[in-house]
Amino acid sequence: MNAAVNAATMATVLMLVAGAMVGAVVGGLLTWMVQRRVHLRVQSAEVARARLEADAAARADVGMLREQLARHEAESSLTARHGNVSELLAPIRDTLTRYDAVLAQIGRAQAQSAGAIGERLDAVALAGESLRQETQKLSQALRAPTVRGQWGELQLRRVCELAGMLAYCDFEPQVTVRGEDGVQRPDLVVRLPGGRQLVVDAKAPLNAYLEAVGAADDKTRSAHLATHAAHVRTHAQKLSAKRYWAQFADTPEFVVLFLPGEAFFAAALEADPALLEIALTERVLLATPTTLIALLKAAAYGWRQERASADTAQVIALGQELQQRLSVFDEQLGEVGKGLERAVGAYNRAVGSLDRRVLVTARKLSALQEGSPSLDAPAFVETAVRDVPSDLSESPRDPLPDPSADAT
């Protein structure tokens, strides 16, 4: 029984060992098969990659061969046609040569122009610097009251010249009058037609204006402009206090305050819009060169009209004098006509007496002598003397106007 158990145990062990061996064999076989499949896949990928690389190399070789073949064919064709191509390119080569020459000439011209422009720019820079220095000197000079006054009077004379008043001598600069407040000296007295006069005084308040022009910010500029407007108002009040209209006869009840620049007046009005109205209430008319020229142009026109009236009066006086002289000449001419009529009558009577009393006897004597010429009486004068026209002898129906009436 033990033998049977042992035999069974041995059989079981053998079976287990056989199963283990079979499992090992099967597992190894499966492992080999898997590894084989992986190896085959790797070999297939390598073969495909090698095939692709071979195809790419073959294609590159074929492309290179084709390129070499095309280059060879092109070189052969170019070599065959080199002569024709050279002939075709000859005009282009000549044109390019001329073009290069023109470009070189243009380059030289541009270089010369650039040099000239540089010299001009240097000259402009020097001129600008000189202008800046001169402007600075002028600004400094205009800050002096004496220079400002002389410049204002010069501008005033220039305005009178532009208005045509110098040619007619219709202004008297620097006229001095003595009033209740002492000696007063306006800058200009313009003589108007009819013996009237217009007083003009020039002022150039520039200190505050120049400071406003050179101000760095708007606040400072506004402050200086306000000061400038205050200076102009002060000048207007002082000029009104002089009462020039009371010192000159036939003068309008206002005086002209001349500002020698449009910008000065505009800046003052910008800071004080009521400045013009305030000046008018003070009987002061603020005038710039433009407005003063217009005012003087009107005065010059009035002078021309007055001279035209004077010329008209002179023409009328000459006409009246000519009329009187023609009347005297008419009387004398009438006496000459009457004398001619008497002379013609006496001549005709003498001719009649000659024909009736003298030539009768002469003809009888001629008849006694054969071949003697015949005697004829002179012809009578039958042309009558014309009468003097009555327009000269009679006075005109419409008398000429009185020159004194037109002159006034």
The predicted structure's pLDDT at residue 20: 62
pLDDT greater than 80 at residue 220:
yes
- Crossing angle of helices 2-142 and 145-162, in 10° steps, is 80
pLDDT greater than 50 at residue 396:
no
Look up residue 301 and give its two tokens: 């026109």
SS3 373: coil
The predicted structure's pLDDT at residue 160: 83
pLDDT greater than 60 at residue 83:
no
With tokens 């400071």, the residue in question is 211
Specify which of 175-189, 256-270, 381-395 reaches the highest per-range mean pLDDT.
Answer: 256-270
For the entire predicted model, the pTM comes to: 0.49
Q: Give me the mean pLDDT over the 34-49 stretch.
A: 69
Look up residue 31 and give its two tokens: 């492992």
pLDDT greater than 70 at residue 99:
yes
Structure-model confidence comparison of residues 236 and 77, the more confident one: 236
Q: Give me the mean pLDDT over the 107-112 stretch.
A: 83
For residue 104, give the H/E element and its range: helix 2-142
The predicted structure's pLDDT at residue 400: 46
For residue 305, give the H/E element and its range: helix 289-353
The predicted structure's pLDDT at residue 25: 62
**Model confidence pLDDT, tens digit, residues 329-345:** 888 888 888 888 888 88
For residue 284, give the H/E element and its range: strand 284-287
The count of other CB atoms within 10 Å of the CB of residue 150 is 13
- Residues 6 or more apart whose Cβ sits within 8 Å of residue 190: 160, 165, 170, 171, 197, 198, 199, 200, 296, 299
pLDDT greater than 50 at residue 15:
yes
The count of other CB atoms within 10 Å of the CB of residue 388 is 17
Q: Is the dihedral of CA 72, 76, 79, 81 positive or negative?
A: negative
**Model confidence pLDDT, tens digit, residues 245-274:** 877 777 888 888 888 888 888 888 888 888
* C-alpha–C-alpha distance, residues 58 and 371, integer Å: 165
Q: What is the DSSP letter of 398?
A: S
Beta bridge partners of 188: 173, 200
The predicted structure's pLDDT at residue 131: 77
Residue 259: which of 241, 281, 244, 239 has the closest Cα? 239
DSSP string, 197-251: EEEEEE----HHHHHHHT-SSHHHHHHHHHHHHHHHHHHHHHHHHT-GGGTSTT-
Determine contact, residues 199/189, Cβ cutoff 8 Å: yes
pLDDT greater than 60 at residue 404:
no
SS3 260: coil
On average, the pLDDT of the chain sits at 75
Specify which of 8-22, 192-206, 261-275 reaches the highest per-range mean pLDDT.
Answer: 261-275
Specify which of 148-152, 190-194, 388-392 reaches the highest per-range mean pLDDT.
Answer: 190-194
Q: Give me the mean pLDDT over the 323-328 stretch.
A: 88
Q: Give me the mean pLDDT over the 172-196 stretch.
A: 68
Residue 187: which of 238, 258, 237 has the closest Cα? 258
Which of 11-15, 216-220, 366-370 bottoms out in mean pLDDT, i.e. has the lowest?
A: 11-15
pLDDT greater than 70 at residue 239:
yes
The predicted structure's pLDDT at residue 170: 47
Determine contact, residues 232/205, Cβ cutoff 8 Å: yes
SS3 255: strand
Query: Above pLDDT 90, what percent of the chain?
Result: 0
Which of 146-160, 229-243, 297-311 bottoms out in mean pLDDT, i.e. has the lowest?
A: 146-160
Determine contact, residues 276/269, Cβ cutoff 8 Å: yes
For residue 188, give the H/E element and its range: strand 188-192
The predicted structure's pLDDT at residue 16: 63
pLDDT greater than 50 at residue 295:
yes
Phi and psi for 252 in degrees, rounded to 5? -60, 155
Look up residue 125 and give its two tokens: 């820079």
Phi and psi for 42 in degrees, rounded to 5? -65, -45
Place 406 in a pLDDT band, splitting at 50, 70 and 90: very low
Structure-model confidence comparison of residues 373 and 310, the more confident one: 310
The predicted structure's pLDDT at residue 225: 86
* C-alpha–C-alpha distance, residues 269 and 284, integer Å: 15
The predicted structure's pLDDT at residue 13: 58
* C-alpha–C-alpha distance, residues 261 and 351, integer Å: 95
